[in-house]
Structure 1
Amino acid sequence: MKKQTFLLIGLFFMSFQFMVAQGSPDYSGGLKFKFNEDGSKYLRLISWAQVQANYNTDATFDGNGNENSKLNFNLRRARVLMFAQINKDFLILTHFGVNSLTSTTLSPTGKGDGSQLFFHDVWAQYNLGENHTIGGGLHYFNGISRLNNQSTLNMMTLDNNRQSWATIGLSDQFARHLGVFLKGKFDKLQYRVAINDAAASTLDSRTAIAGGDAVYNGRASLGSGDAGKTYAGYFDYHFLDQESNFLPYKVGSYLGGKKVFNIGAGFFLHPKGAVIDNGTALTPNLVGEDVSIFAIDAFYDTPIGEGGSALTAYAVFQSSDYGKNYLFSAYGTGSMFYSHVGYVFNGDKTKTRYQPYVSYGSHSYDAVNDNRSTFGLGVNAYMSGHNSKLTLEYKNQQFGALDSGVLSLQAMIYL
């Protein structure tokens, strides 16, 4: 019996096939379990972890008024993603994990909200011919911009530009909506569109005040009949090398592995998603306001010369209307410009390569006269492409009286 068990285990692991990972010269990454000889039926597994040490240059305080330590540790992401190709037309994907586990979200027995695993994505899809696919579930085929569809496996900066995840926690679950999507391409033009249910609960739990500004919790206040659906789309034209649209996750930097130049445009619409109160304190009159977000962006990634150097550049302009004078956390009715640029130095691709980068964002809000500005300066050390890298970044944020700086060191392993 023991011999049979060991034999089955051995055959199981021999059936795995390594898959090619982006930007990694000496590690093929991921595991593919084949269900037939030609590999057309398979299960692929990917896992990654990002661990940070963050030093805040300014004093911060907890909910009880006690000063926090300036040096803090953060399990930024711990994820498992797996997908199965049942046959050439069917695919199912499951993605789960935990985010931003810190000393304040740890719980004594691991049962607290902050320390819980949850589903990021669960969807099934069906191919409609060679270049078009329909699917449904909890998915990440978002609209607006490339950064609203950003992969967390291969970001160039330490993290994504937060305001680009423009609906996170407001109408969705961690940037994922529950609904149906259609994606595909017409020659060099790729597209993704979706119709989704709006979440019935949101991070913006405020109550609309008579004569006050909008709050973004329309479905909770007005009911699903009036504010129940959201609509999203993103379209990008690929002038040079064609990027894969097999999965929704957009690559942050190819490290010179491709020569890519794309221009894109996208939208997000949530009819009556925001709520204002046109009544009085004694006789409230809740009225829905449409939420509409539009963006245009450009992405360029290219090798330079023969020595392994590469340039990555990205820019986006986003116009956001969350309702009259909406302002909540980093999100608000107004406009945003964001850009980042990075350069990989010449070097042996099988050894450590360095990529300094700079990022800048400017955000204006209708509700206030002050603009929010963010500036980041960092460097990536790629020890095995995106599969093993260290990132050191200083990020400064200014908004009104706020002038904060955070120095972060992140280690990432992606298998």
Structure 2
Amino acid sequence: MKKILKSIFTLVSGCVTPVFAQEITPSTSETSKPKSEMRYNLSPDGSKYIKATFLNQVWARWNESNPGTTVNGEPKSHTTDVGLRRTRMQLYGQISDRTFFYTQFGLNNFNFLAQNAGNRKLSAFFHDALGEYKVLKNNDKLKIGAGLTITSGLSRFSQPSIGTIMTTDVPVFLQATVDQTDEFARKLSVYARGQLGKLDYRIAISDPFPIQTNGQTAPVLSNNASFTTFGHTKQYQGFFMYNFLDKEPHTTPYMTGTYLGDKKIVNLESGIIYQKNATWYTTDGTTPIYQDMLLWSVAAFTDVPLQNNKYALSAYLGYFNTDYGHNYIRNNGIMNPANGNNNPGNFNGPGNTYPMFGTGESVYAQVGLRLAPDLLGDQGTLMPYVSYRQSGYERLDDPVKILDGGVNWLINKHQSKVSLNYQLRTVFNQQTDGAVIRKHDASSAWLQYQVSF
């Protein structure tokens, strides 16, 4: 213990020469020695260590507002804003042959409207805090952990390494209960994960938070399903992935967005989340009908170098079946630049919100191509990409369609990059007869600068 405390003090006090890691989530193997990192070894061979990382993603954005949008009461047909999409700090390490710890602290979606209980200074919190025990000392076949963790059953993008994502933002609809019955996609869980040959697995029993503790007024019981405020049940999750070529790293539960040609990855994956009596609705206005939540998916992912690493291809295709209950819909807008709406027919809500989550079926795909590593000389290279999502939800008469296209300027891989993204989203109108139909598409564009070490 003395040695551990001394090591932490040395790291914090700056006696260790600070060098920088490539990404916020340690997707590279700890034994593969990334080019640079802020790390203090606790053993001569580096198998025991403590490591710190930092990430900041700044957005400058233009958004075409949903109909009737207001900002502090003023009508706005479009908005511009600057915000911190994510700011994170990590401290984690392998402190014995079998014991691993991981913590992450930070904030999200911090723009001019960001506030918590009316106070803009109360936005940062612990995202993760877990301890993990390696059952078999010399391999990763079985690790048992517990704590506040993003370990999830639905997909790789439900537990994403946000410092390595290709598309400036993850498909947030795959963080299925985000800030409803979890804490920014994290849950208090007991889990087992590991790698059995080419099979990567994770199984978790999670203790979801009641929706009435998420800082917002809980939805009232209605003829459309919402998360119940009555009772409490556990959530069961499982995720399974088969690695045909290289195995993906297994240091933390986080999963890399793109390896930029550093690995040869071809995977098939499947995931499931189940919770009994998670939601409720009514047909007579008073009597609740309880429903189970069942979410499952199948997907394929590839991330490989081409022509001796002259290029690198990254691609993903997934199918998602999300049953939250009868006609469940949740509208959400990323770092919403508006806070009011005076158009009663606008189903989306204010700003950039749209039906992000719902009962139904979805398909999501993304593809990108990293160009030659020396394309821009010592200024790095480019990686253009495109992604598309289509969701057919029970409550909507038309599908949700989200199209993103952009380019990453990889100045120093993921450690320093500038990204430009353009997005089209579906805007819905609710008719007097209750039908919810597509009205038009709205657009937004943002420039992101990411720094991570």
State the TM-score, normalized to the length of structure 1.
0.88
Query: Which residues in structure 2 correspond to 1:91-240 (within 5 Å)?
Result: 91-105=100-114, 112=119, 115-129=122-136, 130=139, 131-201=141-211, 202=214, 205-209=218-222, 212-216=223-227, 218=228, 220=229, 222-224=230-232, 228-240=233-245
1:30 shift after superposition: 3.1
1:105/1:114 contact within 8 Å kept? no
Query: Which residues in structure 2 correspond to 1:45-124 (within 5 Å)?
Result: 45-58=52-65, 60-67=69-76, 70-105=79-114, 112=119, 115-124=122-131
2:65/2:78 contact within 8 Å kept? no
Query: Which residues in structure 2 correspond to 1:7-406 (within 5 Å)?
Result: 13-15=14-16, 18=19, 21=22, 28-58=35-65, 60-67=69-76, 70-105=79-114, 112=119, 115-129=122-136, 130=139, 131-201=141-211, 202=214, 205-209=218-222, 212-216=223-227, 218=228, 220=229, 222-224=230-232, 228-278=233-283, 280-281=284-285, 284-306=286-308, 308-329=310-331, 330-348=356-374, 351-399=379-427, 400-406=438-444
TM-superposition CA deviations, 1:295-340 (whole Å, max 9, x none): 0111001111135311100011000000011112111100100101
1:166 shift after superposition: 1.3
1:105/1:115 contact within 8 Å kept? no
Counterpart CA distance in 2 for 1:275 and 1:13 is: 53
Q: Match of 1:268, SS?
A: strand
1:121/1:176 contact within 8 Å kept? yes
**Structure 1 106/293 Cα, relative in aligned 2: closer, same or farther at 3 Å?**
closer
Counterpart CA distance in 2 for 1:70 and 1:332 is: 27
Counterpart CA distance in 2 for 1:254 and 1:55 is: 29
1:233/1:266 contact within 8 Å kept? yes
Unaligned runs of 5+ in 1: 1-7
Q: Match of 1:33, SS?
A: strand
1:151 shift after superposition: 1.0
TM-superposition CA deviations, 1:58-77 (whole Å, max 9, x none): 47422524427622111111
1:267/1:294 contact within 8 Å kept? yes
Provide the residue aligned with 2:353 in structure 1. Answer: none
TM-superposition CA deviations, 1:334-372 (whole Å, max 9, x none): 010010100011232854110111111101111121110
1:35 shift after superposition: 3.2
- State the one-letter code of the partner of 1:205: A
1:133 shift after superposition: 0.2
Identical amino acids, percent of aligned pairs: 28
- State the one-letter code of the partner of 1:168: V
Counterpart CA distance in 1 for 2:12 and 2:208 is: 45
- More RCO (CA 8 Å, sep 6+): 2
1:101/1:114 contact within 8 Å kept? no
1:204 shift after superposition: 7.5
2:419/2:448 contact within 8 Å kept? yes
Counterpart CA distance in 2 for 1:16 and 1:33 is: 9
2:402/2:426 contact within 8 Å kept? yes
TM-superposition CA deviations, 1:192-250 (whole Å, max 9, x none): 010011111246821112xx12112x2x2x212xxx21111110000011111221111
1:169 shift after superposition: 1.6
Counterpart CA distance in 2 for 1:336 and 1:366 is: 12
- State the one-letter code of the partner of 1:198: P
2:65/2:77 contact within 8 Å kept? no
Counterpart CA distance in 1 for 2:291 and 2:440 is: 30
Q: Match of 2:374, SS?
A: coil
Q: Match of 2:109, SS?
A: strand
Question: RMSD between aligned alpha carbons?
Answer: 2.5
**Structure 1 229/63 Cα, relative in aligned 2: closer, same or farther at 3 Å?**
farther
Counterpart CA distance in 1 for 2:293 and 2:163 is: 30
Counterpart CA distance in 2 for 1:342 and 1:35 is: 39
Counterpart CA distance in 2 for 1:402 and 1:114 is: 37
Unaligned runs of 5+ in 2: 1-8, 29-33, 332-355, 428-437
Counterpart CA distance in 1 for 2:302 and 2:11 is: 45
Report the number of matched residues: 394
Counterpart CA distance in 2 for 1:310 and 1:238 is: 18
Q: Match of 1:401, SS?
A: strand
